[in-house]
Amino acid sequence: MTAATTLSRSALLFLSRRDGLKEVATRVGPLRELARRFIAGETLEEAVEAVKELNAQGLMASFDHLNEAVRNEAETQEEVREYRRLLARVDALEVKANVSLKLTQCGLLFDPALALKNARTIVKEAAARGSFVRVDMEQSAVTQATLDTVRQLHSEFGEERVGAVLQSYLRRTETDARALCAERVRIRLCKGAYLEGPEVAYQDKKDVDAHFVRVMRVLLDSGVYHGIATHDERMIDATLDHAAKQRLPKSAFEFQMLYGIRRDLQVRLAKAGFPVRIYVPYGRFWYPYFMRRLAERPANLWFVVKNLMKG
């Protein structure tokens, strides 16, 4: 990574955390248009249409209602209502999809007990409808609280109803992965998308990638159904190699990718017979999610700047 790339990544991730911009950004027309590449729409119905198209191409989905770092109880209640509505819609339409949820959307930043209560209501709804809730992983300040909450919900509802996410940029992740696998918690492994310091996270891409491969092997060897979430063909090839070496059936794990990124690869893997799930975010508060996507690839930023200057 060049110094300029590192700087623009840090700046974008810093800006992604500016709460005040969450509302403002939604009103900037050209930004909103550009965000559409990564976001299925602002309404549930738009997201449902996107998921139907993915299903038609042999891809599964995970809906995510965008909102995070919620600071008051009333807003967390709205999120619970939205997820219950979403799960009911998924059930009624029989689309191939589960849901992803952030605990800061449920109140984790100001009241962990409330976050657990809200998440429990959502997982209970999912359980009643035979669905599954993936609890996204956010910044390292909430890693432990997030895993504690997932463990609690897992003990109440079981491995088929709720699962965790681990990030290979965090130094602690291999240890977490081994412990969670022993408890049969389903894991989504990704690289990690937040701004983290060297005390907790690898800073060098090659260390993040090497850790990803180590943890991927732990997951695939565990006999639990996990998700390998990446668009990096080297990580995908390492996964395919390890699965072949261990003679795992294609159905032993799933690949996961983000809406709007590497559609060619998504379809190619699905056509080869691997389960592939696409993360489909929707909602009005797309700003922090969009900024994290820009930070992942500096070329995206130039695309935005060019379009804003045109418009």
Rule CB under 6 A: which residues touch ligand FDA? 136-137, 165, 167, 190-194, 229-232, 256-258, 261-262, 279, 293, 296-297, 300
Alpha-carbon distance of 7 to 13, in angstroms, equals 10
Min separation Cβ 292 and ligand FDA, Å? 7
- The CB density around residue 170, as the number of other CB atoms within 10 Å, is 22
Pick the closer one to ligand FDA by CB: 107 or 288: 288
Min separation Cβ 211 and ligand FDA, Å? 12
Query: Is 137 annotated as belonging to a binding site?
Result: yes
Min separation Cβ 101 and ligand FDA, Å? 10
Extract the tokens encoding 168: 């290979």
Pick the closer one to ligand FDA by CB: 115 or 193: 193
E-strand spans in 106-185? 133-135, 162-167
Number of H helices and number of E strands within the chain? Answer: 13, 8
Cα 260 to Cα 39, 61, 67, 83, 204, distances in angstroms: 8, 12, 19, 22, 26
Pick the closer one to ligand FDA by CB: 23 or 189: 189
Pick the closer one to ligand FDA by CB: 38 or 161: 38
Pick the closer one to ligand FDA by CB: 207 or 247: 207
Query: Is 167 annotated as belonging to a binding site?
Result: yes
Angle between helices 233-245 and 205-220 (to 10 degrees): 30
Alpha-carbon distance of 121 to 211, in angstroms, equals 34
Query: Is 193 annotated as belonging to a binding site?
Result: yes
Q: Active-site residue among 64, 136, 176, 209?
A: 136
Extract the tokens encoding 21: 């911009």
Contact 181, 189 (CB under 8 A): no
Query: Is 226 annotated as belonging to a binding site?
Result: no
Min separation Cβ 86 and ligand FDA, Å? 17
Beta-carbon contacts of residue 310 (< 8 Å; ≥ 6 apart): none
Query: Is 154 annotated as belonging to a binding site?
Result: no
Query: Is 35 annotated as belonging to a binding site?
Result: no
- The CB density around residue 212, as the number of other CB atoms within 10 Å, is 27
Pick the closer one to ligand FDA by CB: 74 or 211: 211
Query: Is 211 annotated as belonging to a binding site?
Result: no
* Residue 151 CB burial class (10 angstroms; 0-12, 13-18, ≥19): middle
Q: Active-site residue among 120, 161, 188, 277?
A: 188
Min separation Cβ 257 and ligand FDA, Å? 5
Whether 129 is a known active-site residue: answer no
Min separation Cβ 268 and ligand FDA, Å? 14
Whether 188 is a known active-site residue: answer yes
Strand pairing report for 186-190 and 60-65: unpaired
Alpha-carbon distance of 87 to 177, in angstroms, equals 28
Amino acid letter at 310? K
Active site amino acids:
136, 188
Residue list, annotated binding site for substrate = 102, 292-293
Residue list, annotated binding site for FAD = 137, 167, 191-193, 205, 230-231
Residue list, annotated binding site = 102, 137, 167, 191-193, 205, 230-231, 292-293
